Amino acid sequence: MAGVRFVSLAIANGAAVSAAFSFDGKRVIAVIVPSAWTDADITFEVEYPAGTWIKVVNRAGALYKLTGVATALSEMQLVSGDANQADIIITGPGDGRLVSTNTISEANINQGAARTVVVVLA
């Protein structure tokens, strides 16, 4: 597909944060989650200024997150799939990364094994 880029990101065993990726002028449109996933939402961080990671929040100031991530099958989660978030654009002046996040407390939650998550950029 022209203009679409798929970036594989590692989350280490016992870690909650993925490797960083470059936006290269594109925005996140989807995330492909592996079939084995420790029960957690997915949130996003962008690097700004250089060396400082900040959380991506919605218009109400709450963490923007992908919820209901399957733990037994691989799936693609559309970033703009929620009607209340239809206009969300996740991009940044620096790099981005994904965070495995506790559904209730919104604290980082470590994955129970090494995971590879794919970010779809367009």
The pLDDT, as a whole number, for residue 114 is 97
Nearest to 115 by CA among 51, 36, 6, 53: 36
CATH architecture of the domain with range 5-121: Sandwich (2.60)
Q: Strand, coil or helix: what is 93?
A: coil
Supply the pLDDT for residue 69: 86
Nearest C-alpha neighbor of 76 from the set 118, 38, 37 = 118
Task: Provide the pLDDT confidence category of residue 83 given band limits of 50, 70 and 90.
Answer: very low
- For 22-79, how does the pLDDT look when each residue is reduced to its tens digit (9 = 90+)? 999 899 999 999 999 999 999 999 999 999 999 998 878 889 899 888 888 888 888 8
User: Does pLDDT of 88 surpass 70?
Assistant: no
